Structure 1
Amino acid sequence: MTEEKLRGFEVVKAYHDKDIQIPQRSTTHAAGYDIESAETIVIPSMAKQLLGYFADEFRKIFNIAPTKPTETEENSTLLKSTLVPTGLKSYMQEDEYLQIVNRSSNPLKRFLSLPNSIGIIDQDYYNNEKNEGHIYVQLINYGLTDFTIKKGDRIAQGIFTKFLKTDGDEGGLTQRTGGFGSSDTE
């Protein structure tokens, strides 16, 4: 007889050979499972991006030619969050979701924050056809310098949570087909 899987984490196929750690709770009574970065990645400084933007605008106003391509020419999206891959997917029960929350040390020591405050991984994100349910953590860096997250650094926590439905709820109108950030219903 096979034991029913209730909730947990698995490594997505693309990261099977990349030594991804399954999240663990740090202490006996911890609610969150520590989630690590699957890759080394630079989180650009928002302050640096803003300074570059204002310098570009200053140059335009006073017709000063830039010495190299401007920040806004190199990256036309100002203050974009960075998606950090985890190499993980998560399965859970139909009345549960996985909250992705910031680690308390991120803002205090690293100047990193989740721009959406809490990420929500729905039960039907698991094994979706577009990205297998790969969990990414959105981060912004409000520090003065770029910050490098190394592979294996703990970047967020995952907390499994039950949710309630309203009377008469018949569920969504479509099946999920979308990957990160969209259920393809918008």
Structure 2
Amino acid sequence: MRKRGFEVVSAFKDQNIQLPQRATENAAGYDFEAAEDIVIPAVWKQLIHHFVSNKTVDEKLVKPVLVATGIKSYMGEDEYLQLANRSSNPLKRFLVLSNGVGVIDSDYYNNPDNEGHIMFQFSNFGLTDVKIKKGERIGQGIFLPFLKADNDVANEKRTGGFGSSGKE
């Protein structure tokens, strides 16, 4: 019987995607890799370019970049997968997880919108763009249990993929 683990999403089946692995026997996190080359633009560069062109600043101009992993994860109903940044990303590359910490719920697996494809959401606060190469480690996932309150009445089913619990 399967408890928890990782699979490659169908869109990346033939693209040599590595399943997340722990680096050492006592590591809590499973290292995730980028599924494809991508550039994370510097937020300052985006703002300056826009301001010079338009003389105004639009809050929606600076958006986080979703970095595909090609991975989905299955787990128990009372578990979630926490996505965390690599400690070297902010220090060496000025990359931060825009949402602080990612939460992958158990019902995200195989959802109809995107099959449960796990993506990391990055913002680049450095002065230059950051290029991430396919196969480069970008973050880690940690399986954790969670508890429910005595008066919990949630009974809705997930109907969406990334950024959606089915309720708006």
Using the size of structure 2 for normalisation, the TM-score is: 0.95
Q: Deviations over 1:124-157 (max 9, x none)?
A: 0000011110001100111111111000010110
Greater share of strand: 2
Inter-partner Cα distance in structure 1 for 2:70 and 2:53 = 37
Whichever residue aligns with residue 88 of structure 2, its letter is: S
Whichever residue aligns with residue 10 of structure 1, its letter is: E
Match of 1:81 among 64, 77, 84: 64
2:118 corresponds to 1:121: no
Q: Deviations over 1:55-108 (max 9, x none)?
A: 2244x8xxxxxxxxxxx8xxx941100001100000000110000000001001
What's the CA shift for 1:54? 2.5
Inter-partner Cα distance in structure 2 for 1:110 and 1:7 = 31
2:164 corresponds to 1:182: yes
Whichever residue aligns with residue 141 of structure 1, its letter is: N
Match of 2:129 among 146, 154, 157: 146
Q: Secondary structure, in 3 states, of the residue corresponding to 1:87?
A: strand
2:13 corresponds to 1:16: yes
Q: Secondary structure, in 3 states, of the residue corresponding to 1:86?
A: strand
Number of aligned positions between the proteins: 168
What's the CA shift for 1:115? 0.8
Q: Secondary structure, in 3 states, of the residue corresponding to 2:61?
A: coil
Whichever residue aligns with residue 146 of structure 1, its letter is: D
What's the CA shift for 1:27? 1.1
What's the CA shift for 1:22? 0.5
RMSD of Structure 2 on Structure 1 (CA): 1.7
Q: Secondary structure, in 3 states, of the residue corresponding to 1:80?
A: coil
Structure 1 ranges of 4+ moved more than 6 A: none
Match of 1:28 among 25, 30, 47: 25
2:114 corresponds to 1:131: yes
Whichever residue aligns with residue 98 of structure 2, its letter is: P
What's the CA shift for 1:53? 2.4
Unmatched segments (≥5 aa) in structure 2? none
